[in-house]
Chain A
Amino acid sequence: MNQPQDNVLIDVIDVWKSFDDLHVLTGVSMQVHKGSSDVILGRSGIGKSVLLKSIVGLLVPERGSIEVMGKQVMGMKPGELNDLRKHIGYVFQYAALYDSLSVRENLEFPLRKHTDADDEEIGERVMEQLRLVGLEEVVDRMPAQLSGGMKKRIGLARAIITRPDLVLYDEPTAGLDPITAREISELILNLEEQFGITSITVTHDLECARVIANRIYILETGAFQVQGTFEELKRASDPTTKAFFQVMA
């Protein structure tokens, strides 16, 4: 309306969310533009996952507004929410692979539910997806038989198998060794360039932020205190940001 709105994919305005007496989000706002890769940095337990879950409607904040692709998510009916989620991929913190299903079945799942592809097409898409993340050989394994890094890759593959416009990554590199973490960050970057994905990545891994971020937000006590590009924040003088960047150096 007042801005070139069609360029804004996610518009979060003054969102508040608490659990009983715990006030997690107290007035969070952010705008993610089409094609951008935005990163949210913040300490553990500060509310990064709560924000991501609110964006896909898994949690419902008590105040504020969240628009995704021009549609208000808060108060959305289940049917509409479902339609919207077809355009969104979500990479969970611990991959959240279905542990009673094989890797193949895990990847088939969103295709069967969100598209009307036939069996042959589904089979091809699954293998193609596994090639993208470099894990064709594990197609018939169960999640319990995968290493942490493999799980993350499969979780990534499952999230983008429907070719979503928007992907939300929750700590894609947490708990991995630095080399694997680096590989995952680069994989994210490659996939986003290849498929024109817009994304929000939550992390406390500065290296990951450096590799993939167009814009960085720092979440602190319920709201974004600072935002900017990696280079801008690196030179910032406020104590929170400095603390973050010093840990890395």
Chain B
Amino acid sequence: MSESNISYRAMMMRRIRSSMEQVYAITMFGLRFFRYVLVPPYEWGQVRKHLDDLGAKSIPLLTIVGLIMGLILALQTRPTLDRFGAGGFLPAMLALTIVRELGPVITALIVAGRVSSGIGAEVGSMKVTEQIDALEVSGVDPFNYLVVTRVVACSLILPLLTAYVDFLGIFGGYLAEWISYDSSMQLYFTEVLQSLEFNDIIPGVGKTIAFGYIIGIIGAYQGFNTTRGTEGVGRAATTAVVLASLNIIFLDMIIIQLTLLLLGSGS
């Protein structure tokens, strides 16, 4: 019995050690980005290409999800609000929920699913087919050319995509109100705008820059460290989605605590 305990403990220790090493490696990989992004050469052509690609990949899905998110949220909360005689607060409540929390997180998770895996697979297949080695012997730093450009593109585009989803969500809420109560668009949007403050919008959209960074870095890390041929490429893609999604949620939790601390609990 004690023997199996020892081997079990040894196995756990090995597991823990290898996870720690993994965390360390990803952290160093992530920090390397900041060393690169501050100094030329910049591959703007590549960044633009990735921006186009990211937008085209994500926008269809985000459009549907954004609209439906607002619609469902309005349909679900309206009866509860009515019960307290607070139905008139719906536009304000919806706008705050979406802009502060749901918009950024849902956008980030969807883009993570679409893009982190894509980056993992793209970079991973370049790794296993020696294209990354080929870049290096051609005098191109693969980290700068493949990783920095993708991370920059993700960080630039995520705030824009979030703003788009926020708008669609709020509009979806209006659609629900219009279907059920034939309410006026002007009134709805006036209330939305009145309820939103600078302090809601900036942290909400701002944190998506960090989410974009996570999506890019984790996808690229998995791709860069792909081994064992095509099978490894598939693994890189799935691991990237899981890790990116987890990290987004953790980071969001931390940011919420920080904003509450710094800006107060708001209205």
Q: How far is the CB of B201 from chain A (nearest CB, A)?
A: 36
Q: Contact between B131 and A93 (Cβ–Cβ < 8 Å)? A: no
Contact with A along B132-148 (1 / 0, CB 8 A): 01111111110000000
Q: Contact between B133 and A53 (Cβ–Cβ < 8 Å)? A: yes
Query: How far apart are the CA atoms of A56 and B136 in the complex, in Å?
Result: 10
Judge if A245 is at the interface, Cβ distance under 8 Å: no
Q: Which of A26-34, A94-102, A130-138, A212-220 contacts B (4 or more CB under 8 A)?
A: A94-102
A 114-172 contacts with B by CB, 8 A: 114
B131 touches which of A53, A56, A98 (Cβ 8 Å):
A98
Query: How far apart are the CA atoms of A152 and B13 in the complex, in Å?
Result: 47
Judge if B130 is at the interface, Cβ distance under 8 Å: yes
| Chain B residue contacts of A94, Cβ below 8 A | 129-130
Query: How far apart are the CA atoms of A112 and B186 in the complex, in Å?
Result: 56
Q: Contact between A98 and B134 (Cβ–Cβ < 8 Å)? A: yes
Judge if A225 is at the interface, Cβ distance under 8 Å: no
A90 touches which of B125, B134, B140 (Cβ 8 Å):
B134
Number of interface residues of A (CB under 8 A): 20
A109 touches which of B125, B129, B136, B138 (Cβ 8 Å):
B138
Judge if A85 is at the interface, Cβ distance under 8 Å: yes
Judge if A113 is at the interface, Cβ distance under 8 Å: yes
A113 touches which of B125, B130, B139 (Cβ 8 Å):
B139
A-B interface pairs (CB < 8 A), number? 44
Q: How far is the CB of A197 from chain B (nearest CB, A)?
A: 16
| Chain B residue contacts of A97, Cβ below 8 A | 131
B 76-100 contacts with A by CB, 8 A: none
B 15-55 contacts with A by CB, 8 A: none
Q: How far is the CB of B48 from chain A (nearest CB, A)?
A: 14
| Chain B residue contacts of A110, Cβ below 8 A | 138-139
Judge if A86 is at the interface, Cβ distance under 8 Å: yes
B138 touches which of A53, A78, A99, A114 (Cβ 8 Å):
A114
| Chain B residue contacts of A226, Cβ below 8 A | none
Q: Contact between A96 and B134 (Cβ–Cβ < 8 Å)? A: yes
Q: Contact between B140 and A113 (Cβ–Cβ < 8 Å)? A: yes
Query: How far apart are the CA atoms of A94 and B139 in the complex, in Å?
Result: 20
Across the A-B interface, give the 4 residue pairs with the lowest CB-CB distance, nearest first: A96-B130, A96-B134, A113-B139, A92-B130
Residues of B at under 8 Å CB distance from A?
125-126, 129-131, 133-141
Residues of A at under 8 Å CB distance from B?
53, 56, 58, 78, 82, 85-86, 88, 90, 92-94, 96-99, 109-110, 113-114
Known: A85-B137, A96-B130, A99-B131. 12 other contacts (CB 8 A): A56-B137, A58-B137, A78-B141, A85-B139, A90-B134, A96-B131, A96-B134, A97-B131, A98-B131, A99-B129, A110-B138, A113-B139
- Please name 5 pairs of A and B residues whose Cβ atoms are closer than 8 Å in the assembled complex, sorted by A: A58-B136, A85-B138, A93-B130, A96-B134, A98-B131
